[in-house]
Every structure is written in C-alpha cells, then in structure tokens.
Structure 1
Amino acid sequence: MAIKSIELLKWFASNEEMMEVLAAVAADLGDMIEDVNSIAVIPLKGAMTNEVFQIKWPAKSDGHLRTVLVRIYGEGVEVFFNREVEIQTFECMSKNGQGPRLLGRFTTGRVEEFIHARTLSAADLRDPETSALIAAKMREFHNLHMPGAKKAQLWQRVRNWIIYAKSLCSPKDTMIFGLDKLDAEINMLETLLSEGYQEIGFCHNDLQYGNIMIDEETRSITLIDYEYASYNPIAYDLANHFCEMAANYHTDNPHVLDYNKYPGLEERQRFIHIYLSSEGKKPSNIEVEHLLNAAEKYTLANHLFWGLWGVISSHVNSIDFDYKEYAKQRFQQYWLKKPILLDSPSIISQSEIVNGSLATLT
C-alpha cells in the first residue's frame, strides 16, 4: 500500500537534491513531478545496509503509475566498500544486461529502474526449481568480465575490517567478540584455503534472498545490489549463499539465524551440480565433490566476514536491526564449525561458544 504519511513526505521534501533528481528522472520519462505531494512512497523492508523506497507518480501519457526505486545510502557504510567502485559495478552490470538501470544520482543515494519482478522469500531458496534457476544465474554472474584485478579481494577486505572493528569497540566488546584472535585466524584460513587450484570469478558476495528477484512469467532470475561484489573464489560465493539459507530477515527477530535450515549434503550437491552443468558440460563427480568441499570450508571465511560486518554496523548504521547479536551468532558458528571442517581441535569450550562470550580465548 502506498504511504502518504506526513512525516515521510516531509522527510523527502527536505532533501531538495533528491527531489530535483527525481523530477529530472520523471522529465526524462516524459512526466512531471510538481511537488512531493504528487508522489507515493512505499518503504521496502529487509535492507540492512541502505534504506530503500518504491516511488510512484502518475505517468503523463496515460495516467498509469510510473515506478522507480530510491536507495538512500546507510550512514557510515562506506567502510564496507568504495561507493564509486560500487556505482561503476552497477553501471557495468547494466551494460551487461544484468540488474536495473541507473536513472539518477544524488549525494546520499540514487534512483534506479524498478524491476517488475518478485523479490524472493527465505522459503524460495529451498524450492528445488527456484534453487536450480539461482544456481545457473550464479554461474552466469561469475563469468562476467568486470573491472578490477581478477584475484581474491576477500582477505584484504576482512583485514581492513578487523582494524576498523577494533577502533570502534570497547575493550570489553573486543574480548567478547574475540577480535584480537581474528588476524591469526584470517592468516590461517587464507593459507589453507588458497592451496591448490581455485577458480576466481566475479562474485556477488551477498546472495541472500532479498538480493534475488524472479519474473514469474519468464522464470528469469535477476541478481541485484552489488555493494559487496568483487572478484573472489567462486567457492566463497557459493558458501555465502548456503549460509544465507539460515536467515529470514522478514520476521519479528530478523537478526536470528536458524542453522537447522542450513542446506544438507544432498541439497548442496544438487545445487553445485546444476551450477557446473549450466554451461552445457556435465561435470564429473570429482569436480562436484571438489567444489562442494571448498565451499564448505569457505563458510568459515563467510562467518568471520559477516561477523565483523555486524560488529561495525552496530556502531555506524541506524537501521533497526540487532547487529551485535547477529555478529555473535556468526562468530559462534565459526568456532563451532572450525574443528569439524578443518579437522583441528577447538581452542574454546562448547559452553563459551553457546554463551556467546569469547573473552577467555587464549
């Protein structure tokens, strides 16, 4: 339902630059926005980095509603990515026929083409038919030729985040989250996971259900929101997608993760087989097994990545989301799964993991 609340419209009206860009976009489309009262605003839920709004106004040609998407950048989130690089990625994606078109920019956000497709729900990720479409789309995405060095960007990004997280946290939180231990963990993971051949592709790096859209008529998949996109091992992106199956960001407690919903072995095997088969070549069982094992180990890097994201976001982002609790869950999963996936003894006790305190790490 379109929202015409006085507070929301006043807020839009107060951003003169944004309204000027919206008016310019409307003019490019042959319409006219005379003032803020001629638009309807629908806040879109589920975003945790930016605030996103669906904006509508009557088209001049036939009176039907014209729709665009306005993205307001989250405060302080530039620590996570370079905004200019992200815009460059967005524009390059559009030229490659991927995602929405960029319609206009203003200092604190941008106007995008509104894709008339349905954003997936958490349950959609577990639907075999939809999952197969996602797998094929991921393979297509990973093969895109994009600007930037074709090498893993993950490790340096996480190291930068560790430094920044420490600068924001109190000594108590630094101990609780075990931040002083993470440099050694990242060094270990990079060395271990970089052994042997690994395919590097252009990865989305945030393939949660809210960043995947489906056209119900054509059954085509569109991946959106490229803030975190970069070259990385494809196993890392697969791991990220599997980890996101534990999340549902449209509940009363959107930060709570349910790892009972993490996909089982057969489900992961099926996804990877479809992923590798999507270009018409049947993969061998060894190829599937190799990528399956690599993806499973890369879940550890994912947990540290998003754990640090949660810690930093709790200090810089005002969106209503319990970032600290989310971070605790990601770090807990790291310490729970590390001894299993790497066949190495845990350095913390089960009770310390469950209680969410890593303060006694040695």
Structure 2
Amino acid sequence: MTVKTMELEKGGGVTGEEIMEVLATVAAELGDAAEEVEETMQVIPLKGAMTNEVFQIKWRSQNGCVLRRVLVRLYGSGVEIFFNREEEVRTFQCVAEHGQGPRLLARFAAGRVEEFLHATTLSAADIRDPEISALIASKMREFHKLHMPGDKKVQIWHKLRKWLNLAKSLSSTKDAKNFGLEDMDEEINKLENLISGSEGCHQEVGFCHNDLQYGNIMMDKDTRSITIIDYEYASYNPIAYDLANHFCEMAADYQTDTPHLLDYTKYPDFEERQRFVKIYLSAEGNKPSNAEVEQLMNDAEKYTLANHLFWGLWGLISSYVNKIDFDYKEYARQRFQQYWLKKFTLLDW
C-alpha cells in the first residue's frame, strides 16, 4: 500500500484502494488515465473540519500540462446521529443546482468526491474584515432565499429536544450532572416561548446554513465572489438564528493549537453587528428602516442562546461518537457556560 492510500484511510470505514478506484472513475470522466492519477497524486489534509475529514487531491494529466483538483470528504464516525446523510446529499446537490456550491462528482460508502472550488477558505481574521463581512452578509441573504425541498417549518426547537435526548442517552451520570442535562428540557421550553412566542410570530424564516463558521465560507480572490459550503446542518429556521450563529462563530479560531477554545471578547460589538444587519437587509436593493434593523439585531442576540445550547449539545454528543482530534467536551462546556452567563441579560427570564 502506498503512502497516498494510507493517508486516505484515516477516516476509517473505507480503504485507500477503494477511494483510488473512485478517483480513477472521476479522472476518466475528466479524460485522464488512472495511471496519471496514481503517479502524480498529492494528498493534502485540510484542517479545521470537526464533523468530517477533508482532503484536497491533486494530480497532473495530459503530459503534466493540466493540474486537476478534487476534494475528498471522509465522513466522521458516528456523525449520522446528527443528521440524515441522504437528505444532506440531496441538499448538497440542490444547492449546486442553484449555482451556490460545488458539484458532487462521486460517492462511496464512507464519503464522497466533490468539485474543488478555485477559491480560498476564509480565516478567523477574514470574517472580521469589513469588506469581506459585507460580501458574506449579502451572500447569506441570497442563501436564505433559496427554495429547497423538504419541510419548511422551523427546525431548531425540534433539533434541540432530539439532541438533548441523545445527549442524555449517551452521557455518563457525571457528565449529565455537570452539564445540567436534567434541567435542560425546561430551559429549551422557556427559551422557545420567550424567543418565538407571540411577539416573535412574524420572524422571517429562510433556508439557513446553521454552521456559518469561517471554514464553511470561501472567496474567490479575483472575483471576490463568496461561496457557502458544507450543508450537513442546514434546514429552515428563523434567519435571525443563522445571523446569531455567524456572530457566535467569531469567537472561534479552529486553526490554532487549541481549536476548541473560544474567546468571547471577539464577539462582534454593536456597531459591527449593526453594519452586518444593514447590509444583509439591503442585499435585495431595499433600504431597511431603523426599526427593521433594530428588530433583527435584537432577535439575533436572543438566538445566540439557542446557538449555545445547540452546539453545546453537539459537542457533548460528539465527545462520545466522533474520533476526530478535537476536545469536544471542553468546547461543549464553554458553549453551555456562555448560555448561562447571557440568558438573564438577553431575556426577561
């Protein structure tokens, strides 16, 4: 077995030889010979993924004149507990059909091959750049307007309850106590009533990404066009929830030696959030009123609480089912801690 195929076996559940067979099929569709792939292939692990393992695959074809690139995604072990993989693939294909993401090139039992976008994954610093942030805001508005198949009802509260039951079933007695799982049903019920009760019944619902960290946002440096990728957690939700998710992700930097640590001093201030919301609401050419901007900002702040519970439960569950090198449990602790710190200041509890 070559070093190349060994590198591709990290994800488990599939051999490097099997992936090479899939890549040979993809190469053939591009007009390349399998030998060209095998002889010149480079395997480059891409950092920052916490649900799957992702690799850039490069090879030279046509006498070395053309450099091919594809992306191989190896599904993380146990992650289907969070979502339906077939639904996620359908979403992936539908987003691509809308011209909003990469094409699906091939599938295999434990992963898939995707079109490699000639764009750069953003960094933690990039999403704080005012010019890039403005592009992200406009792209988010476009993404939220996509017409996707499936249930168009708000999913966040159902997901929270489902994940809480999963967390309870997986957790040790110690973890269940330390993370306050027994009391969390009541927290979710109160939160839903306070955020989406009678006052919030007119909140706009759209197709939300739900995981808008910088690693899921790419930019073509030449055209400045933004592409949002990776739709495992995508569903219909209040748009304010997705904005809140993006704001919360500004506290993270997954490219450090301690990617699980969050720094909430980096959470965007009032002016930064206001600028983002104004651009978001202006993306379709309409100038929003001050009241509309203020309302969406307030809603987004409240939905940060639902985000903390969502990703706190995700982290705790992942600590039991996912083998990727990431301190999921510490990440969960920080998300829950932030929930408890902020809930009394953000809501009339």
TM-score by length of 1: 0.91
CA RMSD of aligned residues (A): 1.7
Q: How does 1:208-287 map to 2 (within 5 A)?
A: 208-287=213-292
Report deviation, 1:14: 3.2
Conservation of the 8 A alpha-carbon contact between 1:9 and 1:36: no
% identity of equivalent residues:
70
In the alignment, the residues of structure 1 paired with residue 121 and residue 272 of structure 2 have an alpha-carbon distance, to the nearest angstrom, of 22
In the alignment, the residues of structure 1 paired with residue 75 and residue 8 of structure 2 have an alpha-carbon distance, to the nearest angstrom, of 18
Conservation of the 8 A alpha-carbon contact between 2:5 and 2:20: no
Amino acid at match of 1:25: V
Find the residue that maps to 1:75 and give its secondary structure. coil
Tell me which residue corresponds to 2:331.
326
Find the residue that maps to 1:294 and give its secondary structure. helix
Q: How does 1:40-79 map to 2 (within 5 A)?
A: 40-60=42-62, 63-79=65-81
Conservation of the 8 A alpha-carbon contact between 2:5 and 2:17: no
Report deviation, 1:332: 0.2
Per-residue CA deviations over 1:245-281 (Å, capped at 9, x if unaligned) read 0000000100000000000011101100000001000
Matched, 1:18 2:19: yes
Q: How does 1:1-362 map to 2 (within 5 A)?
A: 7-8=6-7, 14-34=15-35, 36-60=38-62, 63-195=65-197, 196-344=201-349
In the alignment, the residues of structure 2 paired with residue 16 and residue 252 of structure 1 have an alpha-carbon distance, to the nearest angstrom, of 32
Report deviation, 1:9: 6.1
Find the residue that maps to 2:73 and give its secondary structure. strand
Distance 1:280 1:120, change over 3 A: same
Conservation of the 8 A alpha-carbon contact between 1:314 and 1:323: yes
Per-residue CA deviations over 1:181-215 (Å, capped at 9, x if unaligned) read 11111111111211231100000000000000000
Conservation of the 8 A alpha-carbon contact between 1:4 and 1:41: no
Find the residue that maps to 1:160 and give its secondary structure. helix
Find the residue that maps to 2:237 and give its secondary structure. strand
In the alignment, the residues of structure 1 paired with residue 336 and residue 56 of structure 2 have an alpha-carbon distance, to the nearest angstrom, of 34
In the alignment, the residues of structure 2 paired with residue 307 and residue 14 of structure 1 have an alpha-carbon distance, to the nearest angstrom, of 33
Conservation of the 8 A alpha-carbon contact between 2:7 and 2:16: no
Q: How many residues matched?
A: 342
In the alignment, the residues of structure 1 paired with residue 137 and residue 8 of structure 2 have an alpha-carbon distance, to the nearest angstrom, of 40
In the alignment, the residues of structure 1 paired with residue 159 and residue 8 of structure 2 have an alpha-carbon distance, to the nearest angstrom, of 38
Amino acid at match of 1:259: Y
In the alignment, the residues of structure 1 paired with residue 5 and residue 77 of structure 2 have an alpha-carbon distance, to the nearest angstrom, of 23
